[in-house]
Chain A
Amino acid sequence: MSQPVIVARDLVKRYGDFAAVDGISFEVAPGESFGLLGPNGAGKSTTMRMVGAVSTRTAGDLAILGLDPDRFGPEIRSQLGVVPQADNLDTELRVRENLLVYGRYFGLPRKLVAERADELLAFAQLEDKGKAKVDSLSGGMKRRLTIARALVNDPRVLLLDEPTTGLDPQARHILWDRLFRLKEQGTTLLLTTHYMDEAEQLCDRLVVVDKGKIMAEGTPAALIRRYSSREVLEVRFGSDRNADVADQLAGIGDRLEVLPDRILVYSENGEAELERITSAGLHPLTSLVRRSSLEDVFLRLTGRSLIE
């Protein structure tokens, strides 16, 4: 097997007494698309910064492309493409200039950077925006420009910190398409997200992170199998009745979860469970059978209470 691109062992980052990352371990193989999934404040961005060699670890071991970021920061960074959570495009420069200048930061020759800039503008579907001001771009376009910029040094690994947060559905799908193409070309992707659909779309494998620790690891399908069921039946009886009805539903499905507004029935066959419920004389106001998703895994592992 080929050497992993990223190896993290018992990685810790402490700020004073607070451990933002509290002993996480994972490996990413070349060409793999690996996701860090977790709620806000789980330690995803801190992990990304350590992998990006812009933050030093407090403890544990980390190797990026076989190198220790504490000692080979510049060498590692020259092989990475970084898409930070908040765009930090250079607003004093035009769109194409952003690519030209960023390429020069890597010490690449001017001519090579100019060629790449044109290719990348095409890749990011921004060919006709080369001379535009950065501030005139839409959120989705800025994001694509940031990704194009991250590719200017032809990186072996692309780090994406919540790549589609704040984008409308259309812009997200365009972005996913672009990222999927990179994946097909063999670029290793490491991405954080709190969107389950994004993780299912893009990640070969992922870890669920909460409070700086890894809660689960696997492929999206394996995680769903292990922590959820094939299907989920959602039934609503009205906010004041849900809790009462839940007692009568005992024994239905693999597992029940009672939420204030609805009851979730985890099962192999949602329709069959719904029939059992109606034949028991209980008539939900609404019902919905859907495939189980990473969201169910995620909420089960990280809890439903709001984490700020």
Chain B
Amino acid sequence: MSDVTHRDLAPASLPLRPARSLYAGNARAVMFRGWRATRSTNWLVMVSGFFEPIFYLLAMGIGLGTLVGDVTTESGQVVPYAAFIAPALLAVAAMNGAIYDSTWNVFFKMQFARLYEGMLSTSLGPLDVALGEILLALLRGALYAVGFQLVMQALGLNLSWWALLALPAVLLIAFGFASLGMAITSYMKTFQQMDWINFVMLPMFLFSATFYPITVYPQWLQVVIQALPLWHGVELVRGLTTGAVDWGMLWHVLYYAVMIAVGLVFTTKRLRALFLD
């Protein structure tokens, strides 16, 4: 009964590439979809997320900052309190934008809108979907970050020309959070599980040397904080906007590169297991 002859019929013009079933090179179609969807439905939600770090900057940096005065950074620099927390909040802005899109929005599309099922019954592969969605989340994070940095510039909180490099840095941060966020979300099944993400995000935001130097913690707690992604982002951006640049910062870059890769691999694997098995 084994007279199915597809092996002979497979045209020679279709060489076997191992990644071919994963990636059609068309992530931009997924981004195009996201852009149309944002344009027609949820641009207002996007605007609200932009203001959150700005409110923090005004309340803590300007308001609380008048009580705190100047702060000595880890590199020994003395800077105004607002200039100390502003780069941290810039990293947070990038993180927030990336996380909104890659967690709750992805969860909804996956569980309720059955969007990816539709996408994956076309010639798109799971890596196209993962990359498209992650790049879209990255763009949102970048948009928040650019806006925030303009506010910083207006308030005179960019202390060095190195601050220009903070833009590519926040892109990297947004990419990392978007990638890992989508990977984790793709394994979530219920709203309760999604709440765990918030449960991790809030303390990470508050305690990652955002509002005070990490040296206030005992050694063991410092190690815990340094294992989390936001701390690396904060340190990287703070180094750039305050001009305290050194080679050690490349470790932060490496941390995010790994985070991006891990997120993409797991998202792709999971999408394939869910929709193409």
Q: Which residues of A contact B (CB under 8 A)?
A: 3, 7, 9-10, 25, 52, 54-56, 61-63, 66-68, 71-75, 77-78, 80, 82, 84, 86, 88-94, 97, 100-102, 104-107, 153
For residue A118, give the distance in angstroms from its CB to the closest CB of chain B.
17
Whole-angstrom CA separation of A74 from B14 in the bound complex: 11
For residue B44, give the distance in angstroms from its CB to the closest CB of chain A.
14
With A10-B1, A90-B115, A104-B33: A74-B125 Cβ-Cβ less than 8 Å: yes
Cβ–Cβ contact A84 & B121, under 8 A: yes
Q: In the complex, what residue of chain A is closest to B35 when comparing beta carbons?
A: A101
Given the complex, which residues of A lie within 8 Å of B30, measured CB to CB? 105
Whole-angstrom CA separation of A153 from B122 in the bound complex: 9
Cβ–Cβ contact B36 & A91, under 8 A: no
For residue A215, give the distance in angstroms from its CB to the closest CB of chain B.
19
Given the complex, which residues of A lie within 8 Å of B26, measured CB to CB? 104-105, 107
Whole-angstrom CA separation of A131 from B26 in the bound complex: 26
B154 within 8 A of A: no
For residue A59, give the distance in angstroms from its CB to the closest CB of chain B.
12
B276 within 8 A of A: yes
For residue B172, give the distance in angstroms from its CB to the closest CB of chain A.
28
Q: In the complex, what residue of chain A is closest to B10 when comparing beta carbons?
A: A67
For residue B152, give the distance in angstroms from its CB to the closest CB of chain A.
33
Stretch from B16-24, B50-58, B174-182, B195-203 forming part of the interface with A:
B16-24
Given the complex, which residues of A lie within 8 Å of B167, measured CB to CB? none
With A101-B29, A101-B36: A66-B6 Cβ-Cβ less than 8 Å: yes
Cβ–Cβ contact B24 & A92, under 8 A: no
Partner of B36, one of A66, A97, A153: A97
Cβ–Cβ contact A74 & B10, under 8 A: no
Cβ–Cβ contact B121 & A66, under 8 A: no
Given the complex, which residues of B lie within 8 Å of A91, measured CB to CB? 113
Q: Which residues of B contact A (CB under 8 A)?
A: 1-7, 9-10, 14, 16, 20-21, 24, 26, 29-30, 32-33, 36-37, 40-42, 113-115, 117-125, 275-277
For residue B158, give the distance in angstroms from its CB to the closest CB of chain A.
37
Cβ–Cβ contact B121 & A54, under 8 A: yes
Cβ–Cβ contact B6 & A68, under 8 A: yes
Among A73, A89, A100, A105, residue most surrounded by chain B Cβ atoms (within 10 Å): A105
Majority secondary structure, B binding face: loop
For residue A291, give the distance in angstroms from its CB to the closest CB of chain B.
37
Q: In the complex, what residue of chain B is closest to A10 when comparing beta carbons?
A: B1
Cβ–Cβ contact A90 & B24, under 8 A: no
Q: What are 7 inter-chain pairs, A to B, with CB distance below 8 A?
A: A9-B1, A71-B16, A74-B24, A77-B123, A104-B33, A107-B26, A107-B123
Cβ–Cβ contact B5 & A63, under 8 A: yes
With A7-B4, A9-B3, A74-B20: A67-B9 Cβ-Cβ less than 8 Å: yes
For residue A238, give the distance in angstroms from its CB to the closest CB of chain B.
49
Q: In the complex, what residue of chain B is closest to A108 when comparing beta carbons?
A: B29
Whole-angstrom CA separation of A107 from B119 in the bound complex: 12
The 6 closest A-B pairs by CB, nearest first: A66-B9, A63-B6, A61-B4, A92-B37, A105-B122, A78-B123
Cβ–Cβ contact A72 & B122, under 8 A: no
Whole-angstrom CA separation of A68 from B37 in the bound complex: 35
With A55-B277, A92-B37, A107-B29: A77-B2 Cβ-Cβ less than 8 Å: no
Cβ–Cβ contact B9 & A63, under 8 A: yes
Partner of A73, one of B2, B21, B113, B119: B21
Q: In the complex, what residue of chain A is closest to B32 when comparing beta carbons?
A: A104
